[in-house]
Structure 1
Amino acid sequence: MSAAFQKTEGWLDWRANPSTPSYKPPPGAVDAHCHVFGPGAEFPFAPERKYTPCDASKDQLFALRDHLGFSRNVLVQATCHGADNRATLDAIVHANGNAKGVASVKPSVTDEELDALNDGGVKGIRFNFVKRLVDPIAPEALAGLVKRINKYGWHIVIYFEAPDLPDLFDFISSIDTTVVVDHMGRPNLTKSLEGPEFSLFLKLMSHNDHVWSKVTCPERLSVSGPPSYDDFAPFASKVVEDFPDRVLWGTDWPHPNLKSHMPDDAWLVDMIPRIARTKELQHKLLVDNPMRLYWPEES
């Protein structure tokens, strides 16, 4: 890492040598939530960032993809890069058709900039409401962006925490394109699966056919901990079984902002048959759904 970019104190580095998963993904499987960070010397981090990550390059991501048995990646723009999407676009270009992207943009983004993102393989934009990571933009200020991206057929990826959902429920419901919620809206896994907090998230999905969810990040959400993340499985399997055609899965590599432990990515892959408990559900989760959303011309 460049001396100008010193990693935030306490952060753990991603594992350079993950083990081999026991579970073998089906052919064509997509890691639909991952990131690239810099490298900072080539793609500087944003001045307004709230954290500085370790470097995590496209080549390292693609090596992990191959090692874990996946075929494609969906790269989600990292908040440490702000609205400068160059690192994500560069990774897409070098993936030889095997990557798409989700960008971060400001409401002031120009039509020409949106056109360039679309030409570069971007299929959606991300709205982040997690205050410790960003200074969130008010939903009403984002409504104009939603209208502007409709001509591209893009979707919205939205990141929030469970206590924020009551304030965001109507906004998400009103969006007139596909919305993909990161990490099931970050439920508190110490609370009941049938409790009011997670029930509200399930209501959001059941009342809105345009809302999808990523069943991701046991390493981030679990209280019971690695390597089995037992408390995560019931929540994720509930979402997969109730909404099999509107779920996605991803590694979240390189696992930003983790301080308690850094997962072996093989542990995360081996969670898949525990949350998608049939071959049919696994194929929908890993192949059919991400292909329909990100490579519709091939699905």
Structure 2
Amino acid sequence: MNSTSIPSGAWDCHTHIYGPFDRYPLPANAAYTPQAAPFSALQALHRRLGIAQGVLVQAAPYGTDHTVIIDAIAASGGRYRGIGVIDATTTDAQLQQLHDGGIRGIRFNLMGHLPGSRDPVALRRTAERVHSLGWHVLVHGEMPVLIPVLEQWTTLATPLVIDHMARPDLTRPVDQAQLAALVAQLRHPGRWIKLSGVDRAMQGAATPWPQAIGHARMLLEAAPDRAIWGTDWPHPNIKGAAPDDAALLAFILDVCATDTRAQAVLVDNPGRLYA
């Protein structure tokens, strides 16, 4: 452990909220059925951790109904932003409403257990559509699926944020060719990396995950001005017990190693991305 401290104004760039279900019920066809995790509980966590700002990622069970996160963003007085999920039926007027409500990007799920299109051509059209709003695309997938898509999109102007470090399994050797391809993608000025999901990468192993620090630092070094972090609270669809969010924060501070780098990852970079 080092003495790097959490900077003032820190962001948690990956959270989900669910409920209260009497006000924000799940649809009958919800992708999964989570436990209630309302915005008030997230705010309490952030106060304990010393986190000032956050990003609410639209939870898959709510589909394209963004009411729960739009209401939370409004209640936060602008301290939180959102990442939405849209489809072919989303109109330009609806996109503008989402923007006015604090949404600053959309998420593409390339993970098999989550709903969403996997067609790179259709997804690119959607990514191009949100570019004029100044939004970015959060791309969630494992390296074997994700990298070929990124390589098809080298001319895409819309910024892409690679979610959860591209979902590696750090309990076994990482494919070095795929890792090199990922690092190469991060040298592109429109590619960002979210240094989150270490608990998933470590398959629920106990903290402090020292074997993951080098991996995360490699990605950070590839894009130091385009790296961000998040807790993934309340940790949906994980194996075993939820990780300690304070340990996740301690991990990213260890990865950053200096106050200057922590300021970039936790404050300055997200401040630009979610403006």
Shorter-chain TM-score bucket reads over 0.9
Give, in whole Å, the separation in 2 of the partners of 1:46 and 1:159.
Answer: 23
Distance 2:152 2:19 in 1: 33
2 CA distance for matches of 1:136 and 1:222? Answer: 28
Query: Which is further off, 35-44 or 120-129?
Result: 35-44
CA deviation profile, 1:155-207 (whole Å, cap 9, x unmatched): 1111011221343132342321111110111112134467122222112212x
Verify: 1:92 aligned to 2:69, yes or no. no
Partners of 2:62 and 2:223 lie apart in 1 by 32
8 A Cα contact 2:70 2:101, kept in partner: yes
Is 2:218 the partner of 1:241?
A: no
* Correspondent of 1:144 among 125, 141, 150: 125
Alignment of 1:54-73 (within 5 A): 54-73=35-54
Q: Which residue does 1:165 correspond to in 2?
A: 146
How much has 1:49 moved relative to structure 2?
2.9
Aligned-partner Cα distance in 2 for 1:281–1:87? 33
What one-letter code is carried by the residue in structure 1 that aligns with 2:53?
Answer: R
Q: For 2:262 and 2:274, locate their aligned partners in 1 and report how far apart those are by CA, in whole Å.
A: 17
| Secondary structure at the counterpart of residue 231 of structure 1 | helix
Shift, 1:220, TM fit: 1.1
Q: What secondary structure is seen at the aligned counterpart in 2 of 1:188?
A: coil
| Residues 50 and 134, structure 1, Cα contact 8 Å, conserved in 2 | yes
Which residue does 2:111 correspond to in 1? 130
Return the alpha-carbon distance in structure 1 between the equivalents of residues 176 and 151 of structure 2.
20
Q: CA RMSD in A?
A: 1.8
Consecutive unaligned residues of structure 1, counting only runs of 5 or more, are 1-21
Give me the whole-angstrom Cα distance separating, in 2, the residues matched to 1:25 and 1:53. 30
Q: Once the two structures are aligned, what percentage of the paired residues are identical? A: 35
Matches for 1:1-299 after TM superposition, within 5 Å: 24-192=5-173, 195-206=176-187, 208-223=188-203, 225-295=205-275
Given the superposition, is the C-alpha separation of residues 166 and 100 from structure 1 closer, same or farther in structure 2, using an over 3 Å criterion?
Answer: closer
8 Å CA contact 1:188, 1:221 repeated in 2: yes
Does the 8 Å CA contact 2:17/2:69 hold for their aligned counterparts? yes
Report the secondary structure of 1:180's partner residue. strand
- Do 1:92 and 1:101's aligned partners in 2 also have CA atoms closer than 8 Å? yes
Q: Partners of 1:228 and 1:86 in 2: how far apart?
A: 36
Give the C-alpha shift of residue 24 in structure 1. Answer: 4.1
Count of aligned positions? 273
Give the Cα separation in 2 of the matches to 1:155 and 1:166. 17
For residues 107 and 137 of structure 1, do their structure 2 counterparts lie closer, same or farther at Cα, with a shift above 3 Å needed? farther
Contact 1:247 1:289 in 2 (8 A): yes
**Contact kept in structure 1, 2:226 and 2:269, CA below 8 Å:** yes
Q: Are the counterparts in 2 of residues 37 and 55 from structure 1 also a CA contact under 8 Å?
A: yes
The one-letter code of the counterpart of 1:45 is: L
Distance of aligned partners of 1:201 and 1:90 in 2 relative to their CA distance in 1, 3 Å threshold:
same
Tell me the secondary structure at the aligned position of residue 210 of structure 2. Answer: coil
Q: Which runs of 5+ in 2 are unaligned?
A: none
SS of the equivalent of 2:218 reads: helix
User: What SS does structure 2 have at the residue aligned with 1:109?
Assistant: coil
TM-score by structure 1 length? Answer: 0.86
Quote how far apart the aligned CAs of 1:223 are.
Answer: 4.1
The code of the aligned residue for 1:225 comes to A
**Partner Cα separation in structure 2 for residue 249 and residue 116 of structure 1:** 27
Letter aligned with residue 149 of structure 1: V
Task: Note the C-alpha offset of 1:35.
Answer: 1.0
Using the TM superposition, give the Cα deviation of residue 292 of structure 1 relative to its aligned residue in structure 2, in angstroms.
0.8
Between the aligned partners of 2:76 and 2:237, the Cα distance in structure 1 is: 26
Q: Show the counterpart of 1:6.
A: none
